[in-house]
Structure 1
């Protein structure tokens, strides 16, 4: 007679040094509900203003903050009791001191390498000088749109979609598989922008194309962010990288071709070198031992 642990829906015992397991249906269902809660919280307000209006932004700050308060309970109540006895709960969410400075510096520098070409172009446009201007930072922090794009959106999205989803998914799948699963929730969660564009009068075909493009690049970024969380075991790594990527945006090819010939050639070389260097260094710069991470990725 087969052992009781072999019944359908019952997790098998974890091997030594492995995360205890929970049923796949549990982890996936929790992540699906969390994604619905996050997106749904953006639309609970009855407002006639668009997404960039200060009133809308402030209300959404409140909404996602409530979701951030609720999300950890999913991890606490649906995780394996063995895991909760074995590890401090904040550690599961990516809050710990071991390897903290490495998680702040190394992934950020690695991502800056990826944007080596765009950074060079920005330097040619002298926009880099604004970062040393006190008035620039004063104006940025007084802009609610800037705070949304660089603080609240990265923090809330990384906390819900990485810190609270990844611990659950990693209890049902291997780290590699988990890295490819959770970004799908992240990408789908951004499809709500299609409805927003339609409400602004954008044609359906255009809204769908933009939505598909946004789904693609948010999912690709989600792979990177989930990988950073699993490899470093820190929330701060994907949060800072997310904020940096929001600031840089997608590369402006038109701006690139407006450069002088030699600057354009050099920029193209830096685009390629930055990407190649990022691909090569990604596994080396995220070795779990650098971050004292023995929980999510051995």
Structure 2
């Protein structure tokens, strides 16, 4: 009769350690952005470069948090730390292509809208895409580099690759998908400080914008967490994150006023329908090899069977 209370206390202890480690990691990531004192805005190239240094240091140290968590909880797995974090070769080709393709299907409406409004033809677009000067310009643009490379890579590494392995044994994969984005969403509230500091709007508008951003980033975080758990790779979430940063939130109100709004809304609806039809088939774990996070689940459990078989 004494085993049940002991098991319950062990589970609560595991969850407490997991949540504390995730909080420490989130605070370290956000705190690293403010170690540099500056009167310049976050979009100034000098500020961006300094923050690159900070977040890259924290991100490179993030596996240490996972190691500390494993030592504190006593959880032993057959998977290496980097493998748990999604750095592996098994199934990498499908992990690179399918999640990104699935995300593009979801954004089919915005992509059609962009193509309709784009002044370039297909051949012009291909010429620009394969022009080395275009990519040289991109990689020397600090804002582009932040939004398309550094932010997707470091945020997915910290908020998905490190946090999900710590949360899964406590909450189960399904609950971890919706728990992990809370840390990700809250971490974006630091933008409120800078907006208030530089008076980029009224207090009400700033907080409403922050609430909207929290909701959007939480939903997006749940999606990339789902991809990470289903595929066991970090590359898919990073590419999807970069793509979504490029596209931005769908310009639905602009689409309402578009001369070809009927066509555009057809593709908006088609994209959403196809996305939900293809969500599970395109993220079937059997397509991605041996999923390392399965080693954190109790064999024989429903979560283990649904995720790993």
Q: Same fold (TM over 0.5)?
A: yes
Could you tell me how far apart the structure 2 residues matched to 1:221 and 1:165 are? 16
CA contact (8 A) 2:164 2:176 kept: yes
Could you tell me how far apart the structure 2 residues matched to 1:295 and 1:90 are? 10
- 1:2 aligned to 2:2? yes
Shift of 1:5: 8.3
Gap runs ≥5 in structure 2:
294-306
- 1:89 aligned to 2:70? no
- 1:290 aligned to 2:287? yes
- 1:242 aligned to 2:229? no
Could you tell me how far apart the structure 1 residues matched to 2:16 and 2:65 are? 14
Q: Deviations over 1:129-161 (max 9, x none)?
A: 546412432321221110000000000000000
Counterpart of 1:54 (choices 29, 40, 45) is 45
Could you tell me how far apart the structure 1 residues matched to 2:102 and 2:8 are? 43
Could you tell me how far apart the structure 1 residues matched to 2:240 and 2:41 are? 27
Aligned to 1:137: 135
Q: Deviations over 1:258-280 (max 9, x none)?
A: 533xx321110000010111111
User: Which structure shows the bigger proportion of residues in helix conformation?
Assistant: 2
Q: Secondary structure at the match of 2:93?
A: helix
Paired residues for 1:165-176 under 5 Å: 165-176=163-174
CA contact (8 A) 2:231 2:288 kept: yes
Counterpart of 1:270 (choices 264, 267, 270) is 267
Shift of 1:65: 0.9
Could you tell me how far apart the structure 2 residues matched to 1:32 and 1:182 are? 10
CA contact (8 A) 2:161 2:234 kept: yes
Shift of 1:11: 4.3
Gap runs ≥5 in structure 1:
13-21
Paired residues for 1:18-29 under 5 Å: 23-29=14-20
Paired residues for 1:90-239 under 5 Å: 90-126=82-118, 129-130=124-125, 132-133=127-128, 134=131, 135-201=133-199, 202-239=201-238
Could you tell me how far apart the structure 1 residues matched to 2:271 and 2:3 are? 53
Could you tell me how far apart the structure 2 residues matched to 1:5 and 1:285 are? 41
TM-score normalised by length of structure 1:
0.90
Counterpart of 1:63 (choices 32, 37, 54) is 54
Aligned to 1:38: 29
Q: Deviations over 1:41-74 (max 9, x none)?
A: 1111110100000110001001101111221111
Give aligned pairs, total: 286
